[in-house]
Amino acid sequence: MAGKPKLHYFNGRGRMESIRWLLAAAGVEFEEKCMKTREDLEKLRKDGVLMFQQVPMVEIDGMKLVQTRAIFNYIADKHNLYGKDIKERALIDMYTEGIVDLNELILTRPFLPPEEQEAKLAQIKDKAKNRYFPAFEKVLKSHGQDYLVGNKLSKADILLVELLYNVEELNPGATASFPLLQALKTRISNLPTVKKFLQPGSQRNPPDDEKCREEAKIIFH
């Protein structure tokens, strides 16, 4: 278990941001190696360190892990963010997968052609308001506890709060009619590790913008 995890990605949020959130919330210091050119990606591919020639890739505990879910499940397992038994794991997974579905729409949007982004934004707002936020508000209401599952912090809480920040960036009033989600957001944001991550100077990335899009195009296409 030597050394800090090392994240290989390009300089943007993309698919790596959820991993940064999770590591940060777990209080794990990590390093980042940013790809800047097509050659950087090709080198990683030639080195044989990307199982499916894709990033994110995280070097952790002697492994070179790829695939976002594999990476965050390992981090969750290692740092007790995955519940206490298989049924809690099932609920955590069910909630996480819903979060990931909505977050997928958000993280891919900056990389769409500009003329498609408007329609995508409408879809994100609608799905958040009518499908996902009500589902999670209902869970919190059903047990009245501080966390989604088992009265204990898990990857589901952290990734949901990341999602809430992401949606609010696009739609500032988005959580207004979801008091329990707002409370969860506040509670998680106040955890010392998360508070630190939310401050300037942390490894949290700003929203992916036009510049990121151009960079990603160069690297990935």
Partner 1 sequence: MAGKPKLHYFNGRGRMESIRWLLAAAGVEFEEKFIETREDWDRIRKDGSLMYQQVPMVEIDGMKLVQTRAIINYIANKHNLYGKDMKERALIDMYVEGVADLNEMTIVFPVHPPGVKETKLSEIKDKAKNRYFPAFEKVLKSHGQDYLVGNKLSKADILLVELLYNVEELDPSAITSFPLLKALKNRISSLPTVKKFLQPGSPRKPYTDKKSVEEMKKTFA
List interacting residues with partner 1 (CB under 8 A).
Answer: 51-53, 61, 63, 65-71, 73-74, 77-78, 86-87, 89-91, 93-94, 96-98, 101, 131-132, 135
Cβ atoms 146, 187 nearer than 8 A: yes
Kindly give the pairing relationship between strand 57-60 and strand 63-66: antiparallel
Other beta carbons within 10 angstroms of residue 37's beta carbon come to 12
Three-class SS of residue 56? coil
| Cβ distance to partner 1 smaller for residue 38 or 195 | 38
Both tokens of 179, joined, read 């008091």
Q: Which is nearer to partner 1, 66 or 194 (CB)?
A: 66
Q: Minimum CB separation from partner 1 for residue 61, in Å?
A: 7
Least distance CB 165 / partner 1 (angstroms)? 21
35 vs 99, which CB is nearer to partner 1?
99
Residue 195 CB, shortest distance to partner 1, in Å, is 28
Which tokens sit at 94? 């069910």
Q: Residue 90 or 183: which CB sits closer to partner 1?
A: 90
Write down the least CB distance from residue 137 to partner 1, Å: 12
Alpha helix segments (H runs only) across 1-84: 17-25, 38-46, 68-78
Select 97 or 169, whichever has its Cβ closest to partner 1.
97
| Closest among 41, 45, 32 to 5, alpha carbons compared | 32
Compute the least distance from the CB of residue 144 to partner 1, in Å. 19
- Token readout for 171 is 């739609």
Which H or E run includes 116? helix 114-127
